[in-house]
């Protein structure tokens, strides 16, 4: 049984909210629309299922990579001989409660900025034109027009390299110009929690 078949069998037996695609064309998953096919592309539908999948793949020493909306990657025309785990639309829930916004890693930055606008929360105006996801935005501390993710982020939920779910405060993340701790420690960003407007609620400044 190939590694792809082993992963698919595990998904079918254990992960009802996760979908998979054999020999998937990566052009469909990158903004540059380049690259060959991935042996297997998987899209988890919930955070617990993503955790189970990563832990299984790691235990079995199966090669894998994580992608978001594919806005900052280039895939070789030779394709990818590994499992590609996409944190995308299936993990893009966004909620606002008590003037605090929480968004899963697959949510588009532009969509989250719009959600904030519709709920009179300021601070995310800069993100409206960034072509990427919350997860990727936190990973690289995305920014534009004088604003950065670190200006509005309070804490995140991550899956650690050891397979555990952990809340990390912004003070732990070492956010700098297009850098973060997650680029070196193996954490996978799952959700931006309390990513909110730190200044005021009221009239939203026009984008």
Maximum distance among all Cα pairs of the chain, rounded to whole angstroms: 58
The whole-angstrom separation of Cα 94 and Cα 70 is 20
Question: Do 71 and 111 lie in a common domain?
Answer: no
Question: Do 183 and 128 lie in a common domain?
Answer: yes
Token output for 183? 């680029």
Boundary of a domain, candidates 88, 108, 128: 88
Please give the pLDDT value at position 195: 54
Q: Are strands 37-43 and 19-25 parallel, antiparallel or unpaired?
A: antiparallel
Question: Do 66 and 114 lie in a common domain?
Answer: no
Boundary of a domain, candidates 70, 88, 106: 88
Question: Do 57 and 133 lie in a common domain?
Answer: no
Please give the pLDDT value at position 112: 93
Q: At a CB cut-off of 8 Å and minimum separation 6, what does 71 contact? A: 30, 31, 131, 132, 133, 136
In a domain, 52, yes or no: yes
Burial per residue of 110-137, b for 16 or more beta-carbon CB atoms within 10 angstroms, e otherwise: bbbbbbbbeeebbbbbbbbebebbbbbb
Question: Do 124 and 39 lie in a common domain?
Answer: no
Please give the pLDDT value at position 64: 98
In a domain, 205, yes or no: no
Please give the pLDDT value at position 40: 98
DSSP category for residue 193: E
Please give the pLDDT value at position 149: 94
Write the pLDDT tens digit of every residue in 122-131. 888 899 989 8
CA dihedral 153, 191, 29, 31 (to 10 degrees): -10
Domain that holds residue 34: 3-88
Neighbour count for residue 32 (Cβ, 10 Å): 12
Please give the pLDDT value at position 199: 43
In a domain, 199, yes or no: no
pTM given for the model: 0.91
Boundary of a domain, candidates 88, 117, 141: 88
Question: Do 30 and 62 lie in a common domain?
Answer: yes
In a domain, 143, yes or no: yes
Question: Do 20 and 73 lie in a common domain?
Answer: yes
What CATH number did the domain enclosing 78 receive?
Answer: 3.30.43.10
Please give the pLDDT value at position 106: 98
Domain count, the chain: 2
What CATH number did the domain enclosing 154 receive?
Answer: 3.30.465.10
Token output for 16? 């009802």
Residues of the chain with pLDDT under 70: 194-207
In a domain, 204, yes or no: no
Question: Do 182 and 96 lie in a common domain?
Answer: yes
Please give the pLDDT value at position 200: 43
The whole-angstrom separation of Cα 100 and Cα 59 is 36
Q: Are strands 188-193 and 100-104 parallel, antiparallel or unpaired?
A: antiparallel
């Amino acid at each position: 049984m190939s590694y792809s078949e082993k992963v698919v069998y595990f998904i079918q037996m254990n992960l009802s909210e996760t979908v998979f695609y054999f020999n998937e064309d990566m052009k469909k998953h990158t903004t540059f629309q380049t690259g060959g096919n991935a042996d297997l592309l998987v899209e988890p539908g919930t955070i617990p299922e993503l955790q189970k999948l990563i832990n299984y793949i790691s235990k079995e020493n199966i090669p894998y990579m994580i992608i978001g909306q594919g806005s900052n990657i280039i895939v070789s025309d030779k394709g990818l001989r590994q499992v590609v785990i996409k944190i995308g639309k299936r993990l893009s829930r966004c909620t606002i409660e008590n003037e605090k916004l929480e968004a899963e890693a697959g949510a588009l930055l532009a969509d989250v900025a719009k959600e904030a606008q519709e709920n009179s929360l300021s601070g995310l105006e800069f993100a409206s034109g960034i072509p990427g996801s919350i997860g990727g935005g936190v990973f690289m501390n995305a920014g534009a027009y004088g604003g950065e993710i670190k200006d509005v982020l309070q804490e995140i939920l991550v899956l650690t390299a050891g397979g555990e779910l952990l809340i990390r405060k912004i003070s732990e993340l070492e956010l700098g110009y297009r850098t973060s701790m997650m680029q070196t420690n193996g954490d996978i960003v799952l959700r931006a929690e309390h990513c909110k407007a730190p200044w005021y609620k009221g009239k939203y400044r026009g984008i």
